[in-house]
Chain A
C-alpha cells in the first residue's frame, strides 16, 4: 500500500466537508502513516486521541525539534530575527511569553468590547446597504470586522490594512514559494518591529504598548515583542474573517439553519450556533503539527521519539463517536467540546474574542439583511484550497 500524502483534497461540490480520504482513514485506524513534504508522519485521525495527545507534554510544537512535520521549508524567524511568537515554542518559555498577552483576551475584557464590536458591525452593514450590489462580502465586511477589532486591541493603525492583509495571506499560503513567504514574514516583522519602537517612545492604551513595558523591564526582547505582534495580527483577522464569510455561505446553503439565527433573540442560541459553525467548518484545515520528544503508546502502538504527528482537527470534529451525525450542520447541537481551536497548552489564545465577534456578526447580519443571497453559482466561488486557513477568496452577495 502506498503512503497517503497529506493534506488531501476535498471532494468536488462539497466545499464544507473535509476530504473524503480523511473520513476513510479515520474509519480504518487511529494512527495512519502519511507523507508530508520531506518526511513521513503519523496522522491522528480520531477526536478522543487528538485531545489526549495534544494535551501531552511529551509533544513539541517547535519546528526545529527532530521529526517535526513541516508542510514546507520553514524559516521560523525573518531575516531581522522576528519570529511568529510563542506558537512554535514549548513550555516553559511558551507559557512565560503567552502569559504576557493573556489579560486582554480574558472573558470579562472581551465582553467589555462587545458594544464597540456591535457598533463596528452595524456601521459596516449601514455601508453595505447604502452601497452598490452585488458586493464582495469578504472585502466589504468579513475582513474589515476582525481587522478593525484586532487593530484597536493591538494598537496597529487600521489604515495599514491592505499591507498586513496582503502579507498575512502570503505568509499562510500553501502555494507561495518559501522565498515569497519569507518576504511576507520579513515585511510583517519589520513593520511590527518599527511599531514596537514607536510605542516604546509614545506608549498608548493597547496590547503592544503593554508589551513595551516588558521590553523596558528587560523581560522581553524587542524582536520577540514584534514576533508576538505578528502572531496576534495574523491570527486575529485572517481566521475570523474566514469564519464570517464561509459561515455565511454555509448558512445560505442551509436555509433552515439560517432561519434559526434570524428568528432568535436568545444569546445562548447564538453562542451555540457559533460553536457548531466552528466545529462544522473547522477552517484551520491544515492540521496541527507536533514532534514527539519521548516514546508514547497509543492504541497498542508505540509512537517513537523523533517522529512527527499531525492532528487533522477537521476530521476530529466530524468523528461520529464525539458528534452524532457529524456531517449535518445543526445549530441546536451541543458542539462546545469541538477542537476547532486546537487543544492543549497551545489552544487558541484569541478564542474568547473570536467567539464574541462571531456572535455579534451572526446575530446581526442576517437579521438586518434578511434577503441576503449568493450572487454567483456555488461552483464559481473561489475557495481557499491554497491556504492553511480555509475559506473563500471572495463571496459575491446581493439582497
Chain B
C-alpha cells in the first residue's frame, strides 16, 4: 500500500485523522494533512481507505 497526499488540495477537515490516527496527522499552524507513514501495515488498510473516501477535498490517493 502506498499513500500520496496533496497538501495544496487539503481543506483541514480532519476526517483522515479521525479515520486513521496512526497514519495521518495535522500541521500545527493550519491543520493541513501530514503523512506519518506512507506505507502502513495491511491491518490499517480499511482505515486508510476510509480516510481517502471521506476526504472532502480528494487530497488522499491510496495505491494498493
Chain A residues positioned under 8 Å from B37 (CB to CB)? none
Contact of B30 among A54, A55, A99, A342 (CB under 8 A): A99
A351 touches B13 (CB 8 A): yes
Let me know if B32 is at the binding interface, CB within 8 A. yes
Bound Cα distance A105, B56 (Å): 16
Let me know if A73 is at the binding interface, CB within 8 A. no
Chain B residues positioned under 8 Å from A348 (CB to CB)? 13
A55 touches B58 (CB 8 A): yes
Q: Which one of B11, B15, B28 has the greatest number of beta carbons of chain A within 10 Å?
A: B11
Select from chain A the residue with minimum beta-carbon distance to B58: A55
A337 touches B54 (CB 8 A): yes
Contact of A98 among B11, B28, B29, B53 (CB under 8 A): B11
Let me know if B31 is at the binding interface, CB within 8 A. yes
- Number of interface residues, chain A, beta carbon within 8 A: 26
Bound Cα distance A54, B30 (Å): 23
The smallest C-beta distance from B52 to any residue of chain A, in angstroms, reads: 11
Let me know if A396 is at the binding interface, CB within 8 A. no
Known contacts A102-B31, A105-B12, A105-B14; is-contact A55 B26 (Cβ 8 Å): no
Interface residues of A in 346-366 (CB under 8 A from B): 347-349, 351-352, 355
Bound Cα distance A206, B32 (Å): 20
Q: How many Cβ-Cβ contacts under 8 Å join chain A to chain B?
A: 66
Contact of B12 among A54, A99, A355 (CB under 8 A): A99
Bound Cα distance A28, B15 (Å): 32
Chain B residues positioned under 8 Å from A102 (CB to CB)? 11-12, 30-32
A105 touches B31 (CB 8 A): yes
A352 touches B18 (CB 8 A): yes
Chain A residues positioned under 8 Å from B56 (CB to CB)? 54-55, 341-345, 347
Let me know if B19 is at the binding interface, CB within 8 A. yes
Q: Which one of A108, A341, A355 has the greatest number of beta carbons of chain B within 10 Å?
A: A108
Give per-residue flags for A97-127: 1 if the beta carbon is below 8 A from chain B beta carbons, else 0: 0111011011110100000000000000000
Bound Cα distance A105, B32 (Å): 11
Let me know if A95 is at the binding interface, CB within 8 A. yes
Bound Cα distance A341, B18 (Å): 15
Let me know if B4 is at the binding interface, CB within 8 A. no
Bound Cα distance A352, B54 (Å): 13
Chain A residues positioned under 8 Å from B18 (CB to CB)? 107, 352, 355
Interface residues of B in 19-44 (CB under 8 A from A): 19, 21, 26, 28-32
Q: Which residues of A contact B (CB under 8 A)?
A: 54-55, 95, 98-100, 102-103, 105-108, 110, 336-337, 341-345, 347-349, 351-352, 355
Q: Which residues of B contact A (CB under 8 A)?
A: 11-15, 17-19, 21, 26, 28-32, 50, 53-54, 56-58
Report 16 cross-chain contacts, Cβ distance below 8 Å, ordered by A residue: A106-B12, A106-B14, A106-B17, A106-B26, A106-B31, A107-B14, A110-B14, A336-B54, A342-B56, A343-B56, A347-B11, A347-B13, A349-B11, A349-B13, A352-B14, A355-B18
9 extra A-B contacts, CB within 8 A, seeds A103-B29, A107-B17, A349-B12: A54-B56, A98-B12, A99-B30, A99-B32, A102-B30, A106-B12, A341-B13, A342-B56, A347-B11
